[in-house]
Amino acid sequence: MGDRGRKPAAELSVAVQNRFEYPQAPADLPPEAKVIWDKTVKALPQDWFRPEVQPTLEQYCKHVMEAAEISRMIQDLKGSHDFSVRDYNDLLRMQERETRAGNALARSMRITLQATVNHKKTKDSGPGKKLWEK
């Protein structure tokens, strides 16, 4: 039969072992996309990107990388002497497409700022003041 009464804190404590580590970028990912991978992964808790989400993260990194490349192409075109409005428009459309794809993937992985910020926190309005009082 067990002992009655409260248990000592040492008896109740359990050693928590962190079994998650930050996932490594796939070997075949381009170097620029690996930098995006590392920044994205390290910005969130270690267990955020489980193995089933990592292919989506890989595609996200590729879209962000391509959007950045298209942005460089736009800047190069703006500075060139043979500026073409048609080429400029095509590059802007390409950039928008890559940005939309990246945003959709970010939302699906819940890594956008809106998804990662706790909106239920309330600002402390000071002692004795009501929320609606300044």
Domain ranges of the chain: 28-114
Nearest to 32 by CA among 71, 2, 1: 71
pLDDT tier at 26 (50, 70, 90 boundaries)? very high
What mean pLDDT do residues 18-31 have? 88
Nearest to 33 by CA among 42, 41, 25, 43: 25
pTM over 0.85: no
Say if residue 129's pLDDT is above 70.
no
For residue 65, how many other CB atoms are within 10 A of its CB? 21
pLDDT digits (tens, 9 = 90+) for 74-116: 999 999 999 999 999 999 999 999 999 999 999 999 998 887 7
